[in-house]
A and B are shown apart, each in its own frame.
Chain A
Amino acid sequence: MRYFGLIWRSAWRKKIRTLLTILSVFVAFLLFFLLNAIGQAMTGGGATIESASRLVVIHKVSLINPLPISYLNKIAAVPGVDRVSHATWFGGYYQDPKQQFGQFPIDPDEYLPIYPELEIPEEQLEAFRTTRTGAIVGASLAETYGFEIGDRVPLHAMWPQQDGSETWEFDIVGIMTNTSKGGSDAMFLFRYDYFDEARLWSKGNVGWYVLTLSPGANPVEVANAIDAQFANSPAETKTSTEDAFARSFMEQMGNIALIVQLILGAVFFTLLLVTGNTMAQSVRERIGELAVLKTLGFRDQAVLGIVLAESILIIVIGGMFGLLAGAGLLAAVSDTFSAMIGVGLSVSSQSLVLGIAIMLVAGILSGIFPALQAMRLTIVDALARG
């Protein structure tokens, strides 16, 4: 790249203009990588119901509405259901309202076997069974907050206890890890029996049921059978895959995938205009200089390449800063997000490749017309114009 110095200097001929252009490119790509990661977490490649091995049963109206505990045995009796258990949204925080993570009251004997990827030493599980206020936490969570076995951890929750207190105390008795690839263990699990007895209201309810299927069972048929059983009851159900369940957390936000696409479309359209305008101005200002390069023996194609490279350079600089900032931000919020919907956030290799491809294409698109203008410039005319 012996022309790099020339291209670099030319790109910075108007420092403020170039800086502002890079800034808008930066914002565009920051948004791109953030929204893409969120969009993928919401909609991305989860299992379809046909291939699902676990199903989740929630209230037909919304996830927030509880289901009675009495459904447990009825669901267990549906043909094709292997194991079934339940969990409930606790929604508390640790010390500071910003320190939220997934906290669920569950049944120690029935819940964990449904998630074989969650591993915990046998003696710790035993301690969980025998400690009424016991809790088991994911290794990543334990690391983040410095939880250790034997610690007494207070959580503040929207669930008041019978004495009116909103502070719940738990004894950490175990640390679990998630052995599935990309799976999250940012969870805080404690005992439903303790929770249900101590809470002031909504006793006898659970948030949702989760079940595994018997070998060979048809997930669609099982889901339909469960929902049919509770049709026309006060608490109708909706049975779907785990991924669909995770996404239902976010449904209040509307059609996220579409919104993401619309925003990105608008952002990149603006980006092309901004960068294209910068390049057009830049070429217009130095018709004479480009003619001088040709006079010195630079070929038409070389001049085309120099202008194009300048436009690509500006976009790639802005884009790479956007990528770095995006990856950093995503890493910072990934755990919180994962605790909320069970899927972490990161720049996937897919959006990395897509992002870089967009940088190159946008660089070429916004530079091509000024570059062609520069290429077609005839020396004699350009020099006469000055």
Chain B
Amino acid sequence: MSEILAELRGVSRSYQKGKEKVEVLHELDMDIPVGDFVAIMGPSGSGKTTLLNMLGGLDRPTSGTVKVGGAELSSMSNNQLSNWRSTHVGFVFQFYNLLPVLTAQKNVELPLLLTNFSAKERAERAAIALDIVGLADRARHRPAELSGGQEQRVAIARAIVSDPTLLLCDEPTGDLDRETADEILKLLQVLNSEHGKTIVMVTHDAQAAEYAKRTLHVDKGQLESRAAA
């Protein structure tokens, strides 16, 4: 694999729990090439979400460096991180996290409110994103009127609407049945292979991990690489 998109060096993250200091990540090194689709597996509480938060600029390491697309996230201010996230990364969560008061269309348009696009351009781009995830006909529905799989598709549309290079998915199929989960995973594959998105997906489901190009295992705050099955 060629060019490196994300590079973690000696990343540690510890939390203060009462008087105790808990180290969730311990001097972790990781490289993610452009165009990768990597699954991250590991037991519950092993630090998978924490790792994803580092990659997405939602959290900073206690020590070590996080570089994504040439940007040194570990040294950015909150506002710099906000700006960076709005253009470089899309997030997909287990529970979709759509705004219940907005239609699918308006949910997808949200990230574009931070750009200079006109209302018309925002609507057009959101329509394209909804089309890519196969939900063009549900644009005017509220989240409550959609199935779980459809909600997750809207969330994916929202994650790709500002055309970021990196997609971070935290248990994206954790709340879906097998069949729906497979559809969502296929959609992620398409986004990876046809739309050139680099994808990092946290999952505890081995079957889901099979859709990725490779799988990394997190244990005791460190990575251990194994060949994908």
* A binding-site residues for B, Cβ under 8 Å: 2-3, 5-6, 9-10, 12-13, 288-289, 292-300, 379-380, 383-384, 386
Is residue B97 within 8 Å, beta carbon to beta carbon, of the partner chain? yes
Q: A12 vs B142: C-alpha distance in the bound complex, in angstroms?
A: 14
Q: Classify chain B's interface size.
A: 20 to 34
The 4 closest A-B pairs by CB, nearest first: A297-B86, A9-B101, A297-B85, A292-B97
Q: Who on chain A is nearest to B103 by CB?
A: A9
CB distance from A26 to the nearest CB of B (A): 23
Q: Are A298 and B82 in contact (CB under 8 A)?
A: yes
Q: A295 vs B52: C-alpha distance in the bound complex, in angstroms?
A: 12
Is residue B219 within 8 Å, beta carbon to beta carbon, of the partner chain? no
Q: A12 vs B102: C-alpha distance in the bound complex, in angstroms?
A: 11
Chain A residues near B211 (CB-CB < 8 A) = none
Q: Who on chain A is nearest to B159 by CB?
A: A296
CB distance from A46 to the nearest CB of B (A): 52
Q: Who on chain A is nearest to B110 by CB?
A: A296
Contact with A along B71-84 (1 / 0, CB 8 A): 00000001100111
Is residue B87 within 8 Å, beta carbon to beta carbon, of the partner chain? yes
Q: Are A12 and B101 in contact (CB under 8 A)?
A: yes
Chain B residues near A5 (CB-CB < 8 A) = 106
Is residue B7 within 8 Å, beta carbon to beta carbon, of the partner chain? no
Q: Are A13 and B79 in contact (CB under 8 A)?
A: no
Q: A289 vs B99: C-alpha distance in the bound complex, in angstroms?
A: 6
Q: Are A296 and B111 in contact (CB under 8 A)?
A: yes
Q: Are A379 and B106 in contact (CB under 8 A)?
A: no
Instruction: Pick from A9, A295, A299, A379: contact of B79, CB below 8 A.
Output: A299
Chain A residues near B114 (CB-CB < 8 A) = 296-298
Q: A300 vs B49: C-alpha distance in the bound complex, in angstroms?
A: 22
Q: Are A295 and B85 in contact (CB under 8 A)?
A: yes
Q: Who on chain A is nearest to B98 by CB?
A: A292
Interface centre among A3, A297, A380, by most B CB within 10 Å?
A297
Q: A12-B101, A289-B97, A383-B93 are in contact. Are A299 and B113 (CB under 8 A)?
A: no
CB distance from A385 to the nearest CB of B (A): 12
Instruction: Pick from A13, A299, A379: contact of B58, CB below 8 A.
Output: A379
Q: Who on chain B is nearest to A381 by CB?
A: B59
Q: A121 vs B113: C-alpha distance in the bound complex, in angstroms?
A: 68
CB distance from A111 to the nearest CB of B (A): 67
Chain A residues near B99 (CB-CB < 8 A) = 6, 9-10, 289, 292
Is residue B69 within 8 Å, beta carbon to beta carbon, of the partner chain? no
Interface centre among B99, B106, B110, by most A CB within 10 Å?
B99
Q: A384 vs B56: C-alpha distance in the bound complex, in angstroms?
A: 15
Q: Who on chain B is nearest to A12 by CB?
A: B101
**Can you pick out 29 interface pairs between chain A and chain B where the beta carbons lie within 8 Å of each other?**
A2-B119, A3-B113, A5-B106, A6-B106, A6-B110, A9-B99, A10-B101, A12-B101, A13-B101, A288-B97, A289-B100, A292-B97, A294-B82, A295-B91, A296-B111, A297-B84, A297-B86, A297-B87, A297-B114, A298-B82, A298-B114, A299-B82, A299-B83, A300-B78, A300-B82, A379-B58, A380-B59, A383-B97, A384-B49
Q: A2-B113, A380-B58 are in contact. Are A297 and B83 (CB under 8 A)?
A: yes
CB distance from A313 to the nearest CB of B (A): 14
Q: A69 vs B85: C-alpha distance in the bound complex, in angstroms?
A: 89
Q: A3 vs B119: C-alpha distance in the bound complex, in angstroms?
A: 11
Instruction: Pick from A12, A288, A293, A379: contact of B110, CB below 8 A.
Output: A293
Q: A6 vs B49: C-alpha distance in the bound complex, in angstroms?
A: 29
Instruction: Pick from B49, B87, B95: contact of A386, CB below 8 A.
Output: B95
Chain A residues near B56 (CB-CB < 8 A) = 295
Chain B residues near A379 (CB-CB < 8 A) = 53, 58-59
Q: A383 vs B102: C-alpha distance in the bound complex, in angstroms?
A: 19
Chain B residues near A293 (CB-CB < 8 A) = 110
Q: Who on chain A is nearest to B85 by CB?
A: A297
Q: Are B95 and A6 in contact (CB under 8 A)?
A: no
Q: Who on chain A is nearest to B93 by CB?
A: A383
Chain A residues near B110 (CB-CB < 8 A) = 6, 293, 296
Chain B residues near A292 (CB-CB < 8 A) = 97, 99
CB distance from A301 to the nearest CB of B (A): 8
Q: A294-B82, A386-B95 are in contact. Are A6 and B113 (CB under 8 A)?
A: yes
CB distance from A217 to the nearest CB of B (A): 71
Chain A residues near B58 (CB-CB < 8 A) = 295, 379-380
Q: A293 vs B158: C-alpha distance in the bound complex, in angstroms?
A: 11
Instruction: Pick from B59, B85, B106, B119: contact of A296, CB below 8 A.
Output: B85
Chain A residues near B78 (CB-CB < 8 A) = 299-300
Q: A292 vs B170: C-alpha distance in the bound complex, in angstroms?
A: 14
Q: A380 vs B15: C-alpha distance in the bound complex, in angstroms?
A: 12
Within 8 A of A (CB), among B19-74: 49, 53, 56, 58-59
Contact with A along B149-162 (1 / 0, CB 8 A): 00000000010000
CB distance from A3 to the nearest CB of B (A): 6
Q: Are B102 and A380 in contact (CB under 8 A)?
A: no
CB distance from B9 to the nearest CB of A (A): 21
CB distance from A279 to the nearest CB of B (A): 15
Chain B residues near A386 (CB-CB < 8 A) = 95
